[in-house]
Amino acid sequence: MNDKVYKMKFSKVYPLYIQKIERKGRTKAELDIVIQWLTGYSEQELRTQLNSDADFGAFFANAPQINPNANKITGAICGIRVEEITEPLMQKIRWMDKLVDELAKGKTTEKILRD
């Protein structure tokens, strides 16, 4: 099951994130800020990842630096608490899902970015 998620292409999931947040009145720029905060990618590096065929495994493996405050991301995604996930890659994927959810639910970027 996890292997299937790990092999999902980031470039295929990203437009779904955009659809989700835009339905709630948020912008692609806000989404990019959240993803860049989590992964350490610059805007150009994020574009490069989107133009590549990177799956989630490669996307996170190539991330310049996972934000040191990412462990402050808490809450449930699909009924599973992200802070309790023990598999590192799955936790990073779920952290991103949680940030996208918070953006879609109207949280300010200042609150989403746990600095």
Q: Is the pLDDT of residue 66 over 80?
A: yes
- For position 1, what pLDDT does the model report? 60
Q: Are 91 and 85 in contact (CB under 8 A)?
A: yes
Domain at 2-107, CATH from 1.10.600.10, 1.10.8.290, 2.70.70.10, 2.40.110.10 = 1.10.8.290
The pTM for the full model equals 0.93
Alpha carbon distances (Å) from 50 to 13, 43, 47, 68, 83: 10, 11, 5, 23, 27
Q: Are 14 and 56 in contact (CB under 8 A)?
A: no
Mean pLDDT across the stretch 9-36? 97
Between 5 and 90, residue with greater pLDDT: 90
* 87-113 pLDDT per residue, tens: 999 999 999 999 999 999 999 888 999
Mean pLDDT across the stretch 10-38? 97
Between 4 and 29, residue with greater pLDDT: 29
- 86 torsion bin: left (phi>0), alpha (psi -120 to 50), beta (else): alpha
Q: How confident is the model at residue 8 (pLDDT cuts 50, 70, 90)?
A: very high
Mean pLDDT across the stretch 33-47? 97
Q: Is the pLDDT of residue 48 over 70?
A: yes
Show me where the domains of the chain are located. Answer: 2-107
Mean pLDDT across the stretch 66-85? 94
Q: Are 93 and 13 in contact (CB under 8 A)?
A: no
